[in-house]
Amino acid sequence: MAYQQLGERTGVVPGGVNVGVVRGDTGAAILIDTGVNETNGKKVLRSIHEELGVEVQAIITTHGHADHFGANAAIVKRTGASVYAPEFDELFLRYPIMQPAMLFGGADPVDSLRSPFLLAHASPVDAVYGDGPLVVDGVTFEIINLKGHSPGQKGVLVDGVFYCADVVLPASVLEKYRIPYLYSLTDHLQALDKAATIEHTIAVPGHGPLREDLPVAIEENRSILERVLLAIIDVVAEPTTTEAVISAVFERFDAPITDAAGYYLLQPTIAAFLTHLEREEAISHEIVDRRSLWRRI
């Protein structure tokens, strides 16, 4: 996890989650996300110390998924860094159990959903930020609304570097998981449109390689979503239960569902597609004989 310089005061520590690094006016580092766990956090700190010789003074979390803020608590303990969390998603930093609970229909989640990938250590939150300019240690970050992958996901633009969180996923991840996790498809489609308008020199996604061709990645991701939408519309030619829709889509895309985490990440994702299609008046929803039924209009 070697530090990679991007601009005069911008950089990244590549890894399973790409951690952004920005030098503030005092010379200390501002991180954008921290990674999945304490081990990841220690590697990031070591890389920054060795390459830059500075301490971390602040963390800007892009969204409330455990793999992006899982090292917050460990880094704060070692450095005293302040944590900035996005509107709405700050709830998940304070109460991490809410992420697996949401996936489990809002109920007390089964233990198999309590892995570090889905359940991080709680992170302190010192400030909640919204869209627009955010000034930290003399640096003005432009905060961009990219919600959809999570309820409050934000992108961060500084000095031409677009830290774009999980608005796009790399081809390797799309190929492996087939369908990307989403909280809201409606919002995510708008986020893709918004990301395509951001002027930047290089994009740093939350996962995968840096992109100088972000529009290509946007279209790759959008293509997957369109295929899933068409598949669902086809599946519900006749009244179909929610469970049957989910099973049919998993089968069509050969989704690698082998454990509870895989299933409960994609089950609400399919629900997000159904919500979007009903909102667009492409399908209808009704409760009949105590069953949730969907049908193409």
What does 12-28 look like in DSSP terms, one character per residue?
EE-SSSPEEEEE-TTS-
pLDDT of residue 89: 98
Same domain, 187 and 278: no
CATH number at residue 206: 3.60.15.10
pLDDT of residue 1: 65
CATH number at residue 235: 1.10.10.10
Last residue of a domain, which of 162, 178, 213? 213
| Contact between 28 and 57 (Cβ < 8 Å) | yes
Same domain, 62 and 114: yes
Report residue 22: phi and psi, to 5°. -130, 130
pLDDT of residue 124: 98
Same domain, 152 and 64: yes
| Contact between 219 and 241 (Cβ < 8 Å) | no
Report yes or no on 286 lying in a domain: yes
Encoded tokens for 50: 């060795």
Report residue 85: phi and psi, to 5°. -125, 145
**Angle at CA 62, nearest 5°, toward 120 and 117?**
25
- In whole angstroms, give the CA distance from residue 270 to residue 185: 9
pLDDT of residue 269: 97
The alpha-helical segments, DSSP class H, found in 108-241 are 171-177, 185-197, 214-235
Beta strands in 117-190 (DSSP E): 127-129, 132-136, 139-145, 154-158, 161-165
Query: Hey, is 134 helix, strand or coil?
Result: strand
**CA terminus-to-terminus distance, the chain:** 51
pLDDT of the chain, 297 residues: tens digit per residue: 699 999 999 999 999 999 999 999 999 999 999 999 999 999 999 999 999 999 999 999 999 999 999 999 999 999 999 999 999 999 999 999 999 999 999 999 999 999 999 999 999 999 999 999 999 999 999 999 999 999 999 999 999 999 999 999 999 999 989 999 999 999 999 999 999 999 999 999 999 999 999 999 999 999 999 999 999 999 999 999 999 999 999 999 999 999 999 999 999 999 999 999 999 999 999 999 999 999 999
Same domain, 111 and 257: no
Same domain, 208 and 234: no
Cβ atoms within 10 A of the Cβ of 197, count? 7
Same domain, 53 and 114: yes
Same domain, 8 and 109: yes
Same domain, 205 and 254: no
Report yes or no on 14 lying in a domain: yes
Same domain, 203 and 231: no
Condensed to tens digits (0 to 9), the pLDDT of residues 119-139 reads 999 999 999 999 999 999 999
Last residue of a domain, which of 213, 237, 260? 213
pLDDT of residue 191: 98
Report yes or no on 219 lying in a domain: no
Query: Hey, is 236 helix, strand or coil?
Result: coil
| Contact between 85 and 125 (Cβ < 8 Å) | yes
Last residue of a domain, which of 213, 233, 252? 213
Report yes or no on 118 lying in a domain: yes
Contacts of 5 (CB under 8 A, 6+ apart): 11
Same domain, 235 and 206: no
Same domain, 254 and 190: no
| Contact between 198 and 215 (Cβ < 8 Å) | no
Same domain, 270 and 176: no
- In whole angstroms, give the CA distance from residue 158 to residue 10: 8
Comparing CA positions, the residue from 124, 229, 141, 119 lying closest to residue 185 is 229
pLDDT of residue 283: 98
pLDDT of residue 264: 96
Can you give the residue range of the structural domain that contains 229?
225-296
Total domains in the fold of the chain:
2
